[in-house]
Structure 1
Amino acid sequence: MPNTATGPIRASALSKARVAHVALRIRDRESGIAWYRDKLGMQVVRAFDLNGMTFTEMAMESGEAFRLELVSGDGAVERPGDGELSDSFLLNGWHHLGIWVDDVDLAVDELRGRDVRITLDPTDNHEWMVRVAFIADPWGNVIELLQPLQAG
């Protein structure tokens, strides 16, 4: 795929923007917290109620500033499909959350031991110089694990 950039990015009010969080809509707060805590090692940072929903921010143990925000409460509609990687590319909207790890193979082995569904076993993507694997949470949300490949 060709690079579509046309030149240097001009300075703007967004030139120093950083991603703060991604929100996932779930029905049951406790099961969401349990899965992301027990399977991925995330911890609850804070929670608050607003308009009949509970917003729960979770963070990686690494201290990364990025947050996963679980939005729970009645009225959530199930996501179509079951998190199968090939089917997930048919849906509009956000596709997956990418998480850097030191060793994709070790991470996948550990997640298998925690009964996490692996939707793509570790594989090298030489185009992007990463080793990747994909998993799915119980609600069909897709998560990519990435490890940089060494040049050479």
Structure 2
Amino acid sequence: MRGHHVAVRTPDLQTALDFYVGTLDFRVVATWDYADEQLAYVAPATDDHFFIEILGGGAPAPADVRPYTDLGASLKYAGYHHFCLTVDSVDATVGKLRARGVSIVTEPFVLEVISRRLAFFCDPFGNLIELAEVLD
């Protein structure tokens, strides 16, 4: 087995696409309708093996996700927590995200046990996203 995608439920596909494509520089791989929802696969510009499936629209609209204002508070909830994107530099990526108006939930830090520099931020709907830089 290997991973293929993670699905993110949102009330509005276009707002999600504006963020993932416009802010994170992802690309749209496919779009389709399912009942009264609009869906899309998006992928990082340099990755043909990992996708985010965005499920937008539909009635009733999805309930709000838990607001993540810090990583510690987020750990008290069961279920889906976050997905991770590997980057060359967490610090440079955080700087670009800040310049694009993205709020950083957890400032960059090193987790030595897995040799990674990490940071966390949210999409416009509160879905938590991790950045990971592999350290030497």
TM-score bracket, normalised by the shorter chain, equals over 0.9
Counterpart amino acid of 1:143?
Answer: I
Tell me what 1:4 maps to: none
1:35-94 deviation digits (Å, cap 9, x = unpaired): 111221111111111122111100110033111000011321111224532222122111
In the alignment, structure 1 residue 66 sits paired with structure 2 residue 50: yes
After TM superposition, the score normalised by the length of structure 2 is: 0.93
Distance change >3 Å, CA 83–CA 58, structure 1 → 2: farther
CA separation of 1:83 and 1:141: change in aligned 2, threshold 3 A: farther
TM normalised by structure 1 equals 0.83
Aligned equivalent of 2:123, options 133, 137, 146: 137
- Aligned residue pair count: 134
1:116 aligns with 2:106: no
Task: Tell me which amino acid in the other structure corresponds to 1:123.
Answer: F
Return 5+ residue gaps in structure 1 as ranges.
Answer: 1-16
Question: What SS does the aligned partner of 1:127 have?
Answer: helix
Structure 2 residue matching 1:36: 3-state secondary structure: helix
Of 35, 41, 44, which aligns to 2:25? 41
Name the structure 2 match of 1:106: 92
Say which SS state the counterpart of residue 18 (structure 2) adopts: helix
Of 127, 133, 136, 1:147 maps to 133
The structure with the larger Rg is: 1
The aligned counterpart of 1:78 is: 64
Where does structure 1 differ by over 3 angstroms across 4 or more consecutive aligned residues? none
Unaligned runs of 5+ in 2: none
Is the CA contact (8 Å cut-off) linking 2:10 and 2:56 kept in structure 1? yes
Q: Shift in Å at residue 120 of structure 1? A: 0.9
1:65 corresponds to which letter in structure 2? Answer: H
RMSD, aligned α-carbons: 1.2
Is contact 1:83–1:142 with CA below 8 Å preserved after alignment? no
Q: Which residue of structure 2 lines up, in the alignment, with residue 6 of structure 1?
A: none
**In the alignment, which of 54, 57, 75 is matched to residue 38 of structure 2?**
54
Structure with the larger RCO, 1 or 2 (CA within 8 Å, 6+ apart): 2
Percent of pairs with identical residues: 31
